[in-house]
């Protein structure tokens, strides 16, 4: 049984039999495959379908890369970036770069932007390091990672020659389609496949997330085990009241129906900041369509209490808040007593910092409730692979149920094409001649 706890008692929502029925039906659709987007349901059973041999194969490839390079550049965007980044940041010491003896290679990310300065500074920084790359793109045609890969591939080939480059570059892509697959086959890169029926933002537990994380030394077996337990804890046979994903989906949908328009995800642990980013993609791309959907926003606390806190407390009353709370910190630091007590903090002497953090969390929750911001609380026992794996699947399952409750196809993203068409037209990509003429006339 997964140890994640969901508290909806401060949401102000009273669950009705109709809500329960709708949630059970929505969850059942994910299993029957009769809902919209049913060709992208591979993530539902993904954790339980990953075998020990799959994990071993990924770990073996990761070990090979670790032996070759002290910096591995992971190239991808959106769902081909955020899952690995989120788990890596959660599992890492934020000050790791300052440690004298780094454990294993440093993982860097590229292809998640088109910034010339970013790519230049990365290449400068890795000059004295031995490098390898993992290039990730399901479609194999996404512009941002394709540009970054062209540059990093050239750098690797310049340094090590074409033959050795094929030992230092690993591709993660579709089994048959796309330019990356063609390139990987032609160059002889080791390749991992992204299943056809798993969309980008649901792909963190495929090699998209698992390979980079294994390279960074994350225990991917435990990550998958945590997700697998959550898969069982949110299965179609689980009673509604015991299914945290179904409860979360129902409450946020009811609050949306009542007029809330923005859901803020927050945590008092800065290591979870990129979990927020991953969650924003998951919910933003899955629900934000057909003129509907809660806008997913995020805060890192307590830092953002000193910026966004004012708005949350007293701005437009269109917010709900979900807090990821961590029951047990990994380390113990106590506040010391000071003879002069000039800062007036001796009343806290002897207390652990986490006790103060906990009181901040509680105090903020009460203040926000008083300010008309309903609160949901997701508690995980600790920040470790098992708990994070469970958390990821909890949000994925809730997203599938929530999208169906909202009445959208949670598994497509037609809206992300609009900017691409304009960008290609502006860049005069062959095939876009008419669009180029039209867009230039608008400038």
Binding site for ligand PA5 (CB under 6 A): 77-80, 137-139, 142, 145, 199-201, 285, 413
- Smallest distance, Å, CB 201 to ligand PA5? 4
- Residue with the closest Cβ to ligand PA5? 200
The nearer residue to ligand PA5, 190 or 217, going by C-beta atoms, is 190
- Smallest distance, Å, CB 422 to ligand PA5? 16
The verdict on whether 164 is a catalytic residue reads no
The verdict on whether 306 is a catalytic residue reads yes
Compute CA distances 32 → 38, 42, 238, 398, whole Å. 9, 12, 15, 16
Is 372:317 a contact under the CB 8 Å cutoff?
Answer: yes
- Smallest distance, Å, CB 199 to ligand PA5? 5
- Smallest distance, Å, CB 353 to ligand PA5? 37
Determine which one of 59, 229, 254, 285 is catalytic: 285
- Smallest distance, Å, CB 72 to ligand PA5? 18
Q: Report helix, strand or coil for 94.
A: coil
- Smallest distance, Å, CB 307 to ligand PA5? 28
Take residue 197 and report the two structure tokens written for it.
């029926």
Is 170:208 a contact under the CB 8 Å cutoff?
Answer: no
The nearer residue to ligand PA5, 47 or 284, going by C-beta atoms, is 284
Is 402:252 a contact under the CB 8 Å cutoff?
Answer: yes
**Cα gap 74→64, rounded to integer Å:** 15
Q: Which uninterrupted H or E stretch holds 213?
A: helix 207-215
The nearer residue to ligand PA5, 285 or 321, going by C-beta atoms, is 285
Determine which one of 292, 420, 437, 440 is catalytic: 420
Compute CA distances 399 → 253, 283, 284, 363, 395, whole Å. 11, 6, 10, 29, 6
Helix ranges, 341-384 (H) = 353-370
Determine which one of 34, 100, 306, 331 is catalytic: 306
Compute CA distances 283 → 62, 262, 338, whole Å. 30, 11, 47
Taking each helix axis from N to C terminus, what angle separates 207-215 and 82-91, rounded to the nearest 10 degrees? 40
The nearer residue to ligand PA5, 51 or 182, going by C-beta atoms, is 182
- Output Rg (C-alpha) for the chain, integer angstroms: 23
The nearer residue to ligand PA5, 43 or 268, going by C-beta atoms, is 43
The verdict on whether 316 is a catalytic residue reads no
> DSSP label at 306?
G
Take residue 194 and report the two structure tokens written for it.
């992204």
The nearer residue to ligand PA5, 347 or 419, going by C-beta atoms, is 419
Q: Which residues are catalytic?
A: 285, 306, 420
């Amino acid at each position: 049984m997964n140890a994640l706890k969901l508290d909806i008692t401060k949401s102000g929502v009273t669950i009705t039999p109709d809500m329960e029925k709708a949630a059970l039906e929505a969850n059942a659709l994910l299993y029957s495959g009769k809902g919209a987007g049913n060709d992208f349901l591979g993530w539902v059973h993904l954790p339980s379908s990953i075998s020990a041999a799959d994990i071993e194969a990924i770990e073996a490839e990761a070990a090979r890369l670790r032996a070759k390079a002290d910096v591995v550049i992971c190239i991808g965007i959106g769902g081909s970036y955020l899952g690995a980044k989120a788990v890596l940041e959660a599992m890492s010491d934020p000050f790791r770069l300052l440690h004298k003896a780094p454990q294993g290679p440093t993982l860097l990310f590229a292809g998640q932007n088109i910034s010339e300065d970013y790519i230049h500074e990365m290449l400068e920084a890795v000059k004295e390091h031995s490098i390898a790359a993992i290039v990730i793109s399901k479609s194999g045609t996404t512009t941002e990672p394709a540009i970054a890969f062209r540059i990093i591939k050239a750098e690797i080939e310049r340094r090590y020659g074409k033959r050795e480059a094929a030992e230092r570059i690993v591709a993660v892509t579709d089994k048959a389609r796309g330019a990356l697959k063609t390139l990987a086959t032609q160059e002889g890169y080791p390749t991992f496949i992204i299943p056809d029926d798993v969309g980008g933002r649901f792909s963190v537990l495929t090699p998209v997330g698992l390979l980079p994380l294994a390279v960074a030394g994350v225990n991917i077996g435990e990550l998958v085990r945590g997700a697998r337990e959550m898969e069982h804890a949110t299965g179609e046979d689980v009673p509604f009241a015991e299914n945290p994903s179904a409860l979360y989906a129902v409450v946020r949908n009811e609050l949306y129906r009542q007029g809330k328009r923005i859901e803020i995800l927050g945590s008092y642990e800065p290591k979870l900041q990129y979990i927020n980013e991953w969650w924003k993609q998951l919910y933003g791309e899955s629900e934000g369509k057909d003129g509907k959907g809660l806008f997913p926003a995020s805060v890192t606390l307590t830092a953002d209490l000193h910026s966004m806190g004012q708005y949350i407390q007293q701005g437009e009353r269109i917010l709900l808040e979900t807090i990821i709370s961590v029951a047990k910190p990994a380390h113990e630091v106590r506040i010391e007593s000071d003879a002069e007590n000039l800062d007036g903090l001796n009343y806290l002497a002897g207390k652990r910092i986490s006790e103060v953090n906990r009181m901040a969390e509680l105090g903020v929750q009460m203040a926000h409730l008083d300010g008309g911001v309903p609160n949901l609380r997701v508690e995980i026992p600790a920040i470790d692979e098992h708990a994070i794996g469970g958390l990821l699947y909890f949000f994925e399952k809730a997203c599938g149920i929530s999208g169906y409750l909202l009445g959208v196809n949670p598994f497509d993203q037609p809206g992300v094409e609009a900017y691409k068409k304009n960008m290609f037209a502006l860049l005069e990509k062959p095939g876009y001649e008419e669009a180029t003429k039209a867009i230039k006339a608008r400038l």
